[in-house]
């Protein structure tokens, strides 16, 4: 069946697909998201295909390349169904053993199982791994069940049921009512209620209206939108079509970062297949509703994630924001009413329609409903994408799911909300994560980046880092953003290089106030947040940099020195040989010394020194010990 012309045909098609599938049939799934791709999942996939064939299992076993599973730290990930045996960090050379053990001898390959870094306990099945166990993967969960390029796979998991329901059982107003009732809030940043936004666009006068998917995911450290677009483009498209029907749009755009090539190609394939089956184009499912989509690639500008900039970019101009009002809902693309939502928001729509507002909003807090996907990254054991109900304590995300900070280091802060967000300290880890609570803590939800920082992360440097990022990404149109960021960055750079002055903190506060108060768009208005939140919670770190020229985290290069402890050095020569700057004074049976004038502070010596000696250390804010004499350096 090629064209699907009615809801009945849609269900018949689904029945046909399911009838050919045996849920008990073994299936090897392999994560083929970008991160697993980067760690060699394609080679593993080919090895699996070959091995399965060699064992003559190609009829008995299915192989499926799926979207991102989320546990990116441990990729490439192989899961074998129906049992759900989960193998991590699989390399092509492991495949032979996996196939012969699991399928021929019905044994588990122990060494590829998940091993808890804290307890050493192993987990055989996906659902036993703490990282997955504590999540609620309503949106992201489908990624691992389907091949993102397969229309049949999407149908098999209930695809297009929501669209069919919306088109045939609901009026546009009812669809909007459902989204409003679900209290779904935008997952891309400010958390504006999606239903209200849709209603504004629906009520705006005009025959031509547009709907847009914002996949210009620019927040550094956030990648859930990419994962959804790569792993389940059909769901995003289905959400978009439901929105188009509700608002009265016949045309849509998907704005994707060109840094996400796999998302672009998977989306293009999904669009091709949807069109072939009549689920894009004219008279969809025989409902009389027409809808087409165009893909537009971003060209490398963070600001284009801002709605009005995105529209400028879609019109073929530089991505400079325009003042609001007028809002895109009344005057958007080409001056027509336009509704823009981000990828995760669109992907939630089929869920809202299928489950209904009441069921959807059963999860979450008073003001934030449903689940949210966070990208848990940085100094945390289980790095990856996590989907949790709104209102879960921040501590649970970092410790129960994330497994805490690696290497026995101390947790310092978690940064949420991207470059307009803030850093949350240890003392506030018990807050319940939703839009309001994060804002109250001086951070924000943003698109859901969560970067964990440990004792080695300098908070002054982090705030400098974000200002540098924003200075690179500001469009430069308005004075407070362009000049304010330039000045704040200069002050912070001075601080991290030992040139901080008394009065700098007050000046930062003043600049922050102007930038926040007078900037044209959210990028400018939010730009002082990383500075203000770190100054609020970690003021003593700022003071140490300014007053004592000391970096308490031993991170700011200009404020630290590498030294070798004469008591601990065993003259093994490791640092001497590896130093790229020839800045180590070595010699046989001679205590080694760092020649400070030559040292580039690259840290190679610290890594080279065997852990059992631990002779190289960093110091800050204290004088470098005087060089030893030749006699003192000679070892007995």
Partner 1 sequence: MSEIVLQIDGKKVVAAAGMTILEAAQTVGIAIPTLCHHEKLAPYGACRICTVEAESRGRMNMVAACTYPAEQDLVVTTRSEKVDKIRKVLLEQMLSHAPDSVQLTELAKVYGADKDRFSKESSFCILCGLCVRYCAEVKKKNAIGYIDRGPRREISFVPEVAGKECWDCKECFDLCPTSALQAAYVLTEALAATPTPDDDGCGSGGCGSGGCGCKH
Partner 2 sequence: MDIGRIDQVIDKHDGEASSLIQILLEIQSENHWLPKEALDRVSERLQVPMSRIQHITTFYKAFSQVPKGRHEIHVCVGTACHVRGAQRVLEALEDATGLKPGETDVELKFSLETVNCLGCCALGPVMVVDGEYHGNVAPAKSAEVLKNYE
Residues lying near partner 1 in the complex (CB under 8 A): 301, 303, 318, 322-323, 325-326, 470-480, 482-487, 510-511, 513-514, 517-520
Among positions 212-231, residues that touch partner 2 (CB under 8 A) are 217-223, 226-227
Select 179 or 470, whichever has its Cβ closest to partner 1.
470
CB 346, CB 236: distance < 8 Å: yes
Contact call for residue 313 and partner 2 (CB under 8 A): yes
Q: Considering only residues 319, 364, 403, 552, which one is a binding residue for partner 2 as defined by CB under 8 A? A: 319
Task: Give the closest residue to 367 by CA, choosing from 435, 417, 440, 447.
Answer: 435
- Minimum distance from residue 419 beta carbon to partner 2 (Å): 8
Contact call for residue 449 and partner 2 (CB under 8 A): yes
Alpha-carbon gap, residue 568 to 566, rounded angstroms: 5
| Length reported for the chain | 636
Binding mask 590-619 for partner 2 (x = CB under 8 A): ----------x-xxx--x------------
- Minimum distance from residue 487 beta carbon to partner 1 (Å): 6
- Minimum distance from residue 316 beta carbon to partner 2 (Å): 4
- Minimum distance from residue 358 beta carbon to partner 1 (Å): 30
Contact call for residue 317 and partner 2 (CB under 8 A): yes
Query: E strands along 281-410, which residues?
Result: 292-298, 338-342, 371-378, 384-389
Select 134 or 471, whichever has its Cβ closest to partner 1.
471
- Minimum distance from residue 334 beta carbon to partner 2 (Å): 8
Binding mask 172-211 for partner 2 (x = CB under 8 A): ----------------------------------------
Q: Give the count of alpha carbons within 13 A of 234, CB side only.
A: 29
Number of residues that bind partner 2 (CB under 8 A): 59
Distances (CA, A) of 68 to 168, 227, 410, 424: 33, 6, 30, 28
Tokens found for residue 79: 């899961």
Question: Which string of DSSP letters, residue by residue, matches 176-226?
Answer: HHHHHHTT-B-TTSS--BHHHHHHHHHHSS-S--EEEEEE---STT--HHH
CB 428, CB 526: distance < 8 Å: no
Q: Considering only residues 378, 422, 528, 586, which one is a binding residue for partner 2 as defined by CB under 8 A? A: 378
Binding segment toward partner 2, per CB under 8 A, in 20-28, 29-37, 347-355, 487-495? 29-37
Among positions 87-126, residues that touch partner 2 (CB under 8 A) are none
- Minimum distance from residue 509 beta carbon to partner 1 (Å): 11
CB 112, CB 177: distance < 8 Å: no
In a 3-state reduction of DSSP, which class is residue 577? helix
Select 226 or 355, whichever has its Cβ closest to partner 2.
226
Contact call for residue 475 and partner 2 (CB under 8 A): yes
- Minimum distance from residue 301 beta carbon to partner 2 (Å): 5
- Minimum distance from residue 602 beta carbon to partner 2 (Å): 6
> Which letter does DSSP use for residue 561 in this model?
E
Tokens found for residue 87: 């193998």
* Residues ≥6 apart with Cβ < 8 Å to 221: 375, 377, 378, 415, 418, 449, 450, 451
- Minimum distance from residue 447 beta carbon to partner 1 (Å): 21
Select 31 or 475, whichever has its Cβ closest to partner 1.
475
Q: Considering only residues 381, 383, 529, 534, which one is a binding residue for partner 2 as defined by CB under 8 A? A: 383
Alpha-carbon gap, residue 413 to 92, rounded angstroms: 38
Q: Which does 519 bind (CB under 5 to 8 A by kind): partner 1, partner 2, none?
A: partner 1
Q: Which does 253 bind (CB under 5 to 8 A by kind): partner 2, partner 1, none?
A: none
* Residues ≥6 apart with Cβ < 8 Å to 278: 3, 4, 5, 284, 285
Q: Considering only residues 90, 112, 228, 301, which one is a binding residue for partner 2 as defined by CB under 8 A? A: 301
Q: Which does 325 bind (CB under 5 to 8 A by kind): partner 2, partner 1, none?
A: partner 1
- Minimum distance from residue 22 beta carbon to partner 2 (Å): 34
- Minimum distance from residue 471 beta carbon to partner 1 (Å): 5
Select 470 or 564, whichever has its Cβ closest to partner 1.
470
Region of residue 600 (phi > 0: left; psi between -120 and 50: alpha; otherwise: beta)? alpha
Q: What are phi and psi of 258, to 5 degrees?
A: -75, -10
Select 325 or 623, whichever has its Cβ closest to partner 1.
325
Q: What are phi and psi of 191, to 5 degrees?
A: 75, 35
Tokens found for residue 462: 């982090």
- Minimum distance from residue 195 beta carbon to partner 1 (Å): 20
Classify strands 384-389 and 584-585 as parallel, antiparallel or unpaired.
Answer: unpaired
Q: Which does 145 bind (CB under 5 to 8 A by kind): partner 2, partner 1, none?
A: none
The neighbouring-strand residues paired with 212 are: 253, 340
- The alpha carbons of the chain give a radius of gyration, in whole angstroms, of 27
Classify strands 210-215 and 338-342 as parallel, antiparallel or unpaired.
Answer: parallel
Contacts with partner 2 by CB under 8 A lie at: 34-35, 37-39, 72-73, 75, 217-223, 226-227, 258-260, 296-302, 313-319, 375, 377-379, 383-384, 415, 449, 451, 453, 457, 462, 465-466, 469, 472-473, 475, 578, 580, 600, 602-604, 607
């Amino acid at each position: 069946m090629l064209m699907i012309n009615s809801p009945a045909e849609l269900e018949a098609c689904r029945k046909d697909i399911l009838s050919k599938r045996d849920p008990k049939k073994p299936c090897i799934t392999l994560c083929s998201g970008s991160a697993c791709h980067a760690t060699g999942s394609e080679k593993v996939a080919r090895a699996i295909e070959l091995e399965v064939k060699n064992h003559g299992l190609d009829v008995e076993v299915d192989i499926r390349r799926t979207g991102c599973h989320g546990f990116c730290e441990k990729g490439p990930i192989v899961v074998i169904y129906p049992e759900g045996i989960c193998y991590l960090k699989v390399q092509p050379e492991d495949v032979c053993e996996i196939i012969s053990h699991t399928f021929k001898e019905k044994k588990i390959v122990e060494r590829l199982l998940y091993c808890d870094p804290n307890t050493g306990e192993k987990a055989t099945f996906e659902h036993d791994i703490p990282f997955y166990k504590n999540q609620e993967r309503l949106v992201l969960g489908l990624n691992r069940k389907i091949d993102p390029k397969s229309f049949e796979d999407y149908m098999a998991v209930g695809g297009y049921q929501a669209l069919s329901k919306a088109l045939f059982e609901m009026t546009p107003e009812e669809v909007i009512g459902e989204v409003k009732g679900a209290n779904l809030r935008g997952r891309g940043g400010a958390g504006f209620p999606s239903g209200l936004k849709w209603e504004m666009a629906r009520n705006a006068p005009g025959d031509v209206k547009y709907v847009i998917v914002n996949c210009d995911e620019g927040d550094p450290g956030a990648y859930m939108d990419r994962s959804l677009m790569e792993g389940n483009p059909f769901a995003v498209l289905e959400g978009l079509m439901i929105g188009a029907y509700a608002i009265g749009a016949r045309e849509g755009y998907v704005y994707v970062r060109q840094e996400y090539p796999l998302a672009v190609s998977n989306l293009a394939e999904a669009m091709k297949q949807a069109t072939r089956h009549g689920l894009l184009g004219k008279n969809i499912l025989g409902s009389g509703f027409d809808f087409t989509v165009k893909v537009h690639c971003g060209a490398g500008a963070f600001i284009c994630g801002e709605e009005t900039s995105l529209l400028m970019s879609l019109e073929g101009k530089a991505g400079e924001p325009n003042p609001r009002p007028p809002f895109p809902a009344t005057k958007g693309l080409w001056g027509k009413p336009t509704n823009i939502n981000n990828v995760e928001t669109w992907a939630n729509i089929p869920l809202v329609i299928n489950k209904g507002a009441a069921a959807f909003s059963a999860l979450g807090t008073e003001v934030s409903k449903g689940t949210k996907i966070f990208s848990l990254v940085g100094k945390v054991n289980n790095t990856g994408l996590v989907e949790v109900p709104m209102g879960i304590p921040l501590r649970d995300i970092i410790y129960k799911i994330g497994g805490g900070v690696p290497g026995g280091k101390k947790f310092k802060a978690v940064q949420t909300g991207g470059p307009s967000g803030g850093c949350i300290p240890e003392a506030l880890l018990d807050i319940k994560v939703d839009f309001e609570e994060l804002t109250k803590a001086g951070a924000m939800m943003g698109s859901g980046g969560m970067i964990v920082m440990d004792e080695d992360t300098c908070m002054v440097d982090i705030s400098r880092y974000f200002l540098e990022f924003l200075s690179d990404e500001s469009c430069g149109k308005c004075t407070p953003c362009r000049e304010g960021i330039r000045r704040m960055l200069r002050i912070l750079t001075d601080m991290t290089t030992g040139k901080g002055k008394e009065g700098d903190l007050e000046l930062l506060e003043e600049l922050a106030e102007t930038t926040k108060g007078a900037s044209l768009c959210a990028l400018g208005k939010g730009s002082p947040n990383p500075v203000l939140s770190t100054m609020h919670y970690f003021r003593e770190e700022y003071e140490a940099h300014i007053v004592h020229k000391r970096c308490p985290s031993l991170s700011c290069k200009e404020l630290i020195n590498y030294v070798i402890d004469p008591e601990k050095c065993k003259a093994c020569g490791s640092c001497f040989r590896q130093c790229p700057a020839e800045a180590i004074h070595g010699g046989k049976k001679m205590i080694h010394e760092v020649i400070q004038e030559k040292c580039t502070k690259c840290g190679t010596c610290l890594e080279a020194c065997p852990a059992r000696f631990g002779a190289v250390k960093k110091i800050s804010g204290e004088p470098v010990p005087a060089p030893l004499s030749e006699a003192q350096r000679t070892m007995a």
